[in-house]
């Protein structure tokens, strides 16, 4: 399940992480809560927090708003791919493959492609744009109730369940 992972970094004491990845080449092995977390982060960062950055982030892809419902459909696919492309254009070395993978070993860099995890960039942007909401999604009316319950499980440093 999606979870909060604690770190030893005082400036970034925790981040939101996935149990499994979200995107293509996963053989349909999607977890609703992981998809919901990705959708929620994309919505908060790109649709609501985009004016917090200099320069501001471009508008999210049209048509359609992203709904954090946990369903991996065309809108979610499009938002992930376009978000990665936008971050690459802004100089972040994310892999624009349409997939958001779980952050492993509390490292911002992936071990295979040696790029920055898209999920790491999303967490960083979320904290920068909406720090109060990042600190406590339970107070955010936009956060789905199911996700609030799931994120109540905190995994300590070095943990992470059985999906590694």
Domain that holds residue 115: 3-155
161 vs 133, residue with greater confidence: 133
Q: Per residue in 54-71, pLDDT tens?
A: 888 888 888 778 999 999
Asked if the structure places residue 116 within a domain, the reply is: yes
Structure-model confidence comparison of residues 107 and 22, the more confident one: 22
48 is a domain residue: yes
Structural domain contains residue 92? yes
Give the whole-angstrom CA distance, residue 73 versus residue 22: 11
Side-chain half-sphere exposure of 93, counting CA atoms within 13 A: 7
Q: Is residue 68 part of a domain?
A: yes
Q: Number of folded domains in the chain? A: 1
Residue 164 lies in a domain: no
Tell which residue, 12, 41, 47, 28, has the closest CA to residue 133: 41
Q: What is the pLDDT of residues 81-136, one digit of tens each?
A: 999 999 999 999 999 999 999 999 888 888 888 899 999 999 999 999 999 999 99
Within a domain: 126: yes
Q: Which residues contact 148 (CB under 8 A, 6 or more apart)?
A: 137, 138
**Domain annotation covers residue 42:** yes
DSSP 52: G
User: Does residue 11 lie in a domain region?
Assistant: yes
Residues 47 and 125: beta-carbon distance below 8 Å: no
């Amino acid at each position: 399940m999606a979870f909060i992972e604690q770190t030893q970094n005082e400036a970034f004491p925790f981040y939101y992480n996935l149990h499994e990845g979200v995107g293509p080449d996963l053989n349909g092995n999607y977890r609703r809560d992981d998809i919901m977390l990705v959708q929620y982060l994309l919505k908060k960062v790109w649709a609501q927090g985009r004016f917090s950055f200099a320069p501001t982030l471009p508008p999210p892809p049209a048509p359609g708003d992203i709904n954090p419902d946990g369903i991996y459909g065309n809108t979610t696919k499009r938002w992930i791919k376009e978000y990665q492309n936008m971050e690459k254009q802004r100089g972040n070395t994310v892999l624009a493959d349409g997939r958001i993978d779980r952050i492993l070993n509390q490292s911002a860099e992936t071990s295979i492609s040696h790029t920055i995890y898209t999920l790491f960039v999303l967490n960083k942007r979320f904290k920068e744009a909406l720090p109060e909401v990042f600190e406590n999604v339970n107070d955010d009316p936009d956060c789905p109730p199911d996700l609030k319950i799931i994120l109540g499980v905190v995994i300590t440093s070095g943990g992470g369940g059985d999906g590694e």
